[in-house]
Amino acid sequence: MGISHELIAVRLGNPEFKTLISACLIFTLAYGASKVLTALWHGFTGPLAKIPGPWLNRFTALPWMAAVVRGKAFEQGINYNRKYGDIVRVAPDLVLVSDEKSVHQILVGMDLRKSVLYEKFSQNEDGVTLFTMRDRAQYRTRRRLFSHGFSISYLKGLEPLKLSCIEALEEFIDNQCARDGGETVIDAWNLMGRLASDIMSATAFGGSFELVKNGEHPIRKKFSESFKRGTIYQLLPFLKYIPFLPKFRDPELAQLISEIIEKRQASTDKLAKPDLLQLLLDTHEKNPETLSRIEVFSEMLVFWLAGSETTASTLTFAMMFLLNDPPSYQKLIDEIRGRFPLTDSPVSDDKTTDLPFLHAVLKETMRLAPPATGGLQRQTDEDVILSDHLIPAGTRVTANTTVLHWDEKQWPDAEKFVPERWLSDYKGVPATERTAYYPFSAGSRNCIGKQFAWTELRLTLVSLLRRYDLSLIPDQSHELVHFTVLHLKAGKYMVGIRPRA
């Protein structure tokens, strides 16, 4: 220890070492000062300085980041819109836009590129996905690869697999009701998540994971954790490299997907499973440069996570809204049971597509609780005009579709669940003018799985309500948080259920 102290003393007494330390301090101070001056300059000058918003946010993104990390950015965006108007500066280089014309411009008219935020969302440095791609040409090529897997004819062929998973759900509920004397209580949030995971695995991976049949599984918790980590790590990407923190990509989920892919590649029975996984593997084998092995992995992980969580949350929210609005619940029951009079009446999607109130319920559910609640962030490559403001090149702009969905001008009684607004005029607004609606985004980057989701939502809700009576469990929290997908903060929603009387 004495030698070390002596060495330090000698070093500190060395003029060259002192000069080096001084230079480092001066550089650090100068760098910090330049950052402060740059923030002040951009805060007070330039086109974005004219955009309203919280005073502090023009200099730092920290207040907005804090709202995102808490899962409350969607609420903050609504509050900002009510206070500041249709365009709000929430960070030095980020504005929220929520007037209908400008949102359409961002997503469709100008078709702005996705922002750099999506690059940080990628779970693999070299494995970009359809969701994270920013390059337009690359995106078009990748989307064409997937188009067959989401065509109407292909989805029709998947219907028996979906119905098989729903039948397993019915068997599970029947057993629970029999065990509990005819009526039971289910956690709809958990059970719909397990069902959606089974459907996704059955249709995309060649076999159901049977989470409904086998009960609670750690995968469900890992899904939720993955979305939360994804939201936080895209804001603070350096966290991915801190050894003691959880990895952005959950190792157990990654291992599960890898094993499925390896098993399929080793199989001699590939033609018997013409699912999404096989479609991607065939593309990879024909042209590895178009789709790498790691990109096959990344795409399958994203489809599994996003495809199951969004559908599960929509089904749960639909039940929650219906049970808290008895007239709407009864109206839907009457419509479904008029079409399917017996508890075991065969269900098929072509028998559900012309049920108007069913569609109104699902549309209204996705208006109040849209899958893309956090907004759709894009980036300007050149100067543009939005909401009568000049937005310079390089600015991130979020099409704040949630604000549009809750806008009283577009939707009278916007915070109420009113399925009838989709069927006829409601308080002066015709049903045909429901254009401020973006549950699946819009334009070239609209959700490729939209029809897949619609089919699953219809089949599940119709199957359940033709066979069971649901009842409200009162005094439950409806508080929402958003981590990539909208969640109930409580992480559960209990529903009473019994066989149809």
pLDDT digits over 55-98, tens only? 999 999 999 999 998 999 999 999 999 999 999 999 999 999 99
Q: Could you tell me which of 48, 44, 43, 38 has the C-alpha nearest to residue 96?
A: 48
Say which residue the tokens 């749960």 belong to: 316
Rounded-to-integer distance, Cα 374 and Cα 369, Å: 11
Taking residues 468-478, report their average pLDDT. Answer: 97
pLDDT of 454: 97
Q: Does 447 appear as a known binding residue?
A: yes
Q: Predicted confidence band at 184 (pLDDT cuts at 50, 70, 90)?
A: very high
Least confident segment among 157-166, 302-311, 380-389 = 302-311
Rounded-to-integer distance, Cα 374 and Cα 230, Å: 13
Mean of all residue pLDDT scores within the chain = 86
Q: Does 384 have pLDDT greater than 90?
A: yes
Exposure class string for 88-108: b at 16+ Cβ within 10 A, else e: bbbbbbbbbbbbbebbbbbbb
pLDDT of 64: 94
Bridge partners, 487 (sequence order): 481
Q: Does 52 have pLDDT greater than 70?
A: yes
Q: Does 51 have pLDDT greater than 60?
A: yes
Q: Predicted confidence band at 43 (pLDDT cuts at 50, 70, 90)?
A: low
Taking residues 122-136, report their average pLDDT. Answer: 77
pLDDT of 1: 47
pLDDT of 461: 98
For the chain, the structural domain boundaries read 67-499
- Strand ranges inside 222-365, DSSP E: none
Q: Does 33 have pLDDT greater than 60?
A: no
pLDDT of 282: 87
Q: Does 31 have pLDDT greater than 90?
A: no
Q: Does 268 have pLDDT greater than 90?
A: no
Q: Does 7 have pLDDT greater than 70?
A: no
Q: Predicted confidence band at 429 (pLDDT cuts at 50, 70, 90)?
A: confident
Give the rounded percent of residues in the chain with a pLDDT score beyond 90.
56
Rounded-to-integer distance, Cα 253 and Cα 182, Å: 37
pLDDT for 190-199, tens place per residue?
999 999 999 9
pLDDT of 243: 67
Least confident segment among 90-94, 117-121, 306-310, 314-318 = 117-121
Whole-structure pTM value: 0.88
pLDDT for 186-245, tens place per residue?
999 999 999 999 999 899 887 888 999 988 767 667 766 776 776 777 677 666 666 666
Question: Residue 439 has what DSSP assignment?
Answer: B
Element (H, E) at 348: none
- In residues, how long is the chain? 501
The larger pLDDT score, comparing residue 159 to residue 256, is at 159
Q: Does 41 have pLDDT greater than 80?
A: no
Taking residues 289-302, report their average pLDDT. Answer: 86
Q: Does 137 have pLDDT greater than 80?
A: yes
Q: Does 102 have pLDDT greater than 90?
A: yes
Q: Predicted confidence band at 433 (pLDDT cuts at 50, 70, 90)?
A: confident
Question: Domain 67-499 is in which class?
Answer: mainly alpha
User: Residue 403 phi/psi, 5° resolution?
Assistant: -60, -40
Q: Could you tell me which of 41, 156, 127 has the C-alpha nearest to residue 452?
A: 156
Q: Predicted confidence band at 116 (pLDDT cuts at 50, 70, 90)?
A: confident
